[in-house]
Structure 1
């Protein structure tokens, strides 16, 4: 174990990763302001859909979130140049974690991955070369790092890709129903819009996605296939960037290759003046038990979290229970219809409630099909009515369809959802069972 984890290797890849990662997270922060993401997600709404249990995390009032993201961007630039690296990385990690937990309207797995990588980077000595810190402190400067600093990133990435592939092994993905639905919304794209509507393209996207996610890390690990794997990775992620417009994630994924290519290759191309470390010393630190223990627990959690949906009694694709934090990326197309009714205390009359008045347009699109957001909406409606001196029950008639199928009843319409408790580790009884013709679209396509 000592030789495997604590043998020192050249740190060129880690140093270059720090530069690229710092630049990307700075772009993420400044870009969130420039594209209006901060305004739409954190400023316009009257309330945000926090992760349950994190209600104390609230957006800053007024223009406060703009300054918040500007500060994050500055910390990202400090990471890039390696100035006060650990402090800057820890500050960005904490601030991004707060943003992540503050809202679910714009949830995606890429934000979650960025949060994990930020915290991992806090513990990695990525500033020991090609950094302001190393220039100012000669004792800090070093051309090497222990091998575990590379392994933790590679293993994290491998977990992400593997689960992303396995999650696609279900009928509506395997028969290209999902990719066809995704591509329909891209028909107006300049130059490639009509190309994306071709049937064989839908099948290629479906199966290339499965195979790429499953094999890309092994291809990069094996020296003879590394260049081929990298070329495929560049094409795959640039295609995703153009078609799906998912921010910095494709470019961050391309940059993961820095952990796989040899230091000789990277140094020759990017840092020709750097000393190439070849001594291969084994230096076991005094904190080895703590280090091994912490990362063992961390990776056990990372492996277990995506599997937790099997502990629930129904299909995660229908209930959403266990969907988040599990690398289930772009797996389904959902549509929903929501009618909310309120019933005052000591009254038998139910009245239609204008629930859209409480939400921004962005929130309206997200809240209708996700149980935790429906539950929170019911609580907010009850609170809003209580402010008017009314004690009401909140009922929801939700019709849901998956992957272009028929609409089905999603929530028990006679349940006062505002009175229900949230049970994160238990199936919610007010979610209707998965309908028998759940994969009806898939079955039709197979016929």
Structure 2
């Protein structure tokens, strides 16, 4: 029989020092500021949201297309300012809610630059909405907008830890396939970095190391081990320090060689929750406040059991998303079904070519679509390799022709390569994509089966495909 006491699990509602949360709030805000304003400076906002006539949004977010254009500059300016306000604790509740809503909107507006790291930022931002992260070292406390405190609940700390464990564990499990552990993918990715360093800095020895197949194979196995073990080893006192040093070196190396934005530093900032709060207070507390932490005991809240059910539901959902591809026929590395929101990070390199045809149902006239008249160069990779984008584009074509007074069928001829393999047929060219519905929880019948030998060969990629290739 489940009693109220067992449902409450008192250790989760024990009060602990909140210094980790306060420090993370500062790091989070500053990284959000750098990411959002950096996206403007580097031209990412222009390329992704200003220049395109449309993006490939997540299903259900097609309504966001009216925001495309110069207004997106304003949105990212506001998001950056929100990050600054979060860091200094100024009107924190409004700032973090504004950032969470805005970042979620930006994330779901497009898939051309899909990134698991952006997804993690979104989840953590929503965590922070419900955290007492402005109760110390904040302008809100200094100006009397909120009451200062030194504690948070244990579950708040372990929510971050659990999320990190899920991210790294499923990232490691996803790497357990031939294209990763034989070094095939990483060799292709590091070869690009090798060329970049050889060209820009003349670092020939470093470039030679990056282009080595043996080095790529070694890093591939180290990557699997790191992902599967880093969080457990950070939580275990005897291995905590050496593991954090290893994580520091690992993430800095990834930042230098793979150019993956703020994620290495964001992951390191989150690692603070793996340390005991008293240790963080001992190391940093003297620089932050003169007031020692005092434990204030309080009975569990009456609604603790409902909160526990809510947290359990969230964790189960986070476990389902990375596992859902097992419920769908086909190899997820080929079909992409169940790929997103599943921590399948930097697993393979896909490239492809695709040709769309529309056929007028009344006259039978067949017309080839010129993709460069519809999509931007950075969108070409997505629409040639991702089935959901292929389907969305076909639906868009059918809608556009209908507005012209024509009812058409839409067909696609597509070839795809994985990790430098030969190119294989990807989409059934006989299926009218405009007449199909998207199956959210099952396999799309018009995606052809993956060839068995696709991960056993490593052939050069034809030069005329190179402009379409991106790590995805």
Relative to the length of structure 2, the TM-score reads 0.90
Which residue pairs with 2:212 in the alignment? Answer: 198
> Where do 1:38-437 residues align within 5 Å?
38-60=45-67, 62-137=69-144, 140-188=147-195, 189=197, 190=201, 191=203, 192-272=206-286, 273-279=289-295, 281-437=297-453
Write the deviation string for residues 372-427 of structure 1: whole angstroms up to 9, x where unpaired.
Answer: 00011112222333343332211100011111111111100011111211111121
For 1:253-274, what per-residue CA distance to the aligned partner results, in whole angstroms no more than 9, with x for missing partners?
A: 1112221233344334433124
CA 1:285 to 1:139, structure 2 compared with 1: closer, same or farther past 3 Å? farther
Distance 1:125 1:423, change over 3 A: same
More off after superposition, 89-98 vs 340-349: 340-349
Check whether the contact 2:13–2:300 (CA below 8 A) recurs between aligned residues.
Answer: yes
The count of corresponding residues between Structure 1 and Structure 2 is 443
Runs of 4+ in 1 over 4 A off after TM superposition: none
Query: Which secondary structure state, in structure 2, belongs to the residue aligned with residue 437 of structure 1?
Result: helix
* Alpha carbons 1:143, 1:276 under 8 Å: kept: no
Deviations 1:142-183 (A, max 9, x none): 111111110000000100000000000011111111111112
CA offsets 1:51-99 (integer angstroms, 9 cap, x no match) = 0121112252542110111111111111111122122111110111111
The separation in 2 between residues aligned to 1:343 and 1:290, in whole angstroms, is 56
| Residue pair 1:84, 1:133 contacting (<8 A) in 2 also | yes
Any idea what the Cα deviations from partners look like across 1:113-160, whole Å, max 9, x if unmatched? 111001011111111111112223386211111111100000001000
Shift of 1:349: 4.3
Task: Extract unaligned runs of 5+ from structure 2.
Answer: 1-7, 460-472
1:427 is paired with a residue whose SS is coil
Residue 270 of structure 2: SS of its match in structure 1?
helix
CA distance in 2, matches of 1:253, 1:119: 16
8 Å Cα contact 1:172/1:442 also seen in 2: no
Distance 1:86 1:298 in 2: 22
Question: In structure 2, how many angstroms separate the alpha carbons of the residues matched to 1:224 and 1:282?
Answer: 32
TM-score after normalising by structure 1: 0.95
CA distance in structure 2 between the partners assigned to 1:42 and 1:252 by the alignment: 24
More helix, by proportion: 2
Contact 2:415 2:426 in 1 (8 A): yes
Question: How big is the shift at 1:2?
Answer: 4.0
Give structure 1 stretches of 5+ with no counterpart: none
Question: Higher mean Cα deviation, 155-164 or 248-257?
Answer: 248-257
Judge conservation of contact 1:309–1:322 (CA < 8 Å) in 2: yes
Q: Secondary structure at the match of 1:76?
A: helix
Cα distance, 1:438 vs structure 2: 2.5
CA displacement at 1:280 relative to structure 2: 6.3
Q: In 1, distance between residues paired with 2:133 and 2:292?
A: 16
What SS is found at the alignment partner of 2:165? helix
Following the alignment from structure 1 to structure 2, what is the Cα–Cα distance between the partners of residues 438 and 255? 38
Distance in 1 between residues matched to 2:271 and 2:167, nearest whole Å: 15
Q: Which of 8, 11, 16 is 2:15 aligned to?
A: 8
Counterpart-to-counterpart distance in 1, 2:142 and 2:326: 51
SS class of match (1:145): strand
The verdict on how the C-alpha distance between 1:61 and 1:428 changes in structure 2, with shifts beyond 3 A counting, is closer
Post-superposition Cα deviations, 1:187-233, rounded to whole Å, max 9, x if no partner, equal 22132322201122101210111011111111110112111111011
CA contact (8 A) 2:190 2:258 kept: no
Q: Do the aligned residues in 2 keep the contact of 1:128 with 1:141 (CA within 8 Å)?
A: yes
Whether the 8 Å contact between 1:59 and 1:65 is mirrored in structure 2 is: no
